[in-house]
Amino acid sequence: MTGPASTIRIRRPDDQVDVVALEDVRLRQFDTAIPWREFRWHRKQRHFSGSYWSATMEAPVGYESRLEYVNLLLADFDPRVVWILSQPFLVEGDDRGTARRHVPDYLFFHADESACVVDVKPAERLSRPKVRDSLAWSRRVVEGHGWEYRVQSEPDPVLLANVQFLAGYRRGFQFRNAEVVAAAEEVLTPQTLGEAVRAVTPITGDIRFARSLVLHLLWTRQLRTDLSQPLSTTSLLEPE
């Protein structure tokens, strides 16, 4: 159960910090929230921070490590995720006599209006007592509030490689909507990626752009394929 002392701190663009009892927190309170920590880049820093342009947010989202980046990329590809905030809040509370403070890595809102708090940790660190205890407390606090809590580590390398490749075609503003619609109508039955590209080529007059359209349809989940296998011209595509 979440103790009465559990609170979260939410940072606003004007540097105002809202302090809210966890039991009173609602998703709408994050509408104007910004990341709790600033993302810094400097020589010899231990982690590779950066900024990723999210198709979900149509805006940059920060990350503090390469592992956070790859999990952010997979969330951006997840059709259930409709909103993403990195470093969303500082949670403070009592853990059976130990005072704890923690900033989760991500907060996701889902299409069904549920929320998920995510911490990203390398798999080899999960068995360390300090890390294990902190994450266990975070789970009790978050799940006690009725939100989902996940700890994510290194993803499947084949899935990651495929999604990283498809991410090059994630920006909807680079495609004409009429051509996207027409391309989707050409792939209404199962066919290979190579066949789909050839079928779409008359729409664009250019096989290279036709390939881009088909890959954009895969990113937007208008088409699906088995991404646990390396993507190739022989990959079977099916409409969603």
pLDDT of residue 5: 63
Instruction: Give the residue extent of every domain in the chain.
Output: 7-152, 157-239
Residue 113's pLDDT band, with cuts at 50, 70 and 90, is very high
pLDDT of residue 42: 59
Q: b/e per residue, 81-117, with b = 16+ CB within 10 A?
A: bebbbbbbbbbbbebeeeebebbbbbbbbeeeeebbb
Strands (E), the chain: 7-11, 17-21, 50-54, 59-63, 81-86, 90-95, 98-102, 106-110, 115-120, 148-152, 191-192, 223-224, 236-239
Q: How far apart are CA 25 and CA 23, in angstroms?
A: 6
Residue 80: is its pLDDT beyond 90?
yes
Per cent of the chain over pLDDT 70 is 94
Per the listing, tokens 């990341």 go with: 35
In contact, 107 and 30? CB cutoff 8 Å: yes
pLDDT of residue 46: 65
What CATH class has 7-152?
alpha beta
pLDDT in tens, 122-171: 999 999 999 999 999 999 999 999 999 999 999 999 999 999 999 999 99
**DSSP code per residue over 72-86:** HHHHHH-TTEEEEEE
For residue 64, give Cα distances in angstroms to 46, 67, 70, 73, 93.
10, 8, 11, 13, 24
pLDDT of residue 3: 46
pTM: 0.91
Cα end-to-end distance, the chain, whole Å: 41
Per the listing, tokens 């940790």 go with: 121
pLDDT of residue 15: 85
Mean pLDDT estimate for the chain? 94
Residue 88: is its pLDDT beyond 60?
yes
Residue 2: is its pLDDT beyond 70?
no
pLDDT of residue 38: 80
Provide the pairing of β-strand 106-110 with 98-102: unpaired
In a 10 Å sphere around its CB, with 0-12 CB exposed, 13-18 middle and 19+ buried, how is residue 24 labelled?
exposed
Q: Cα 171–107–78 angle (5° rounding)? A: 40
In contact, 225 and 231? CB cutoff 8 Å: yes
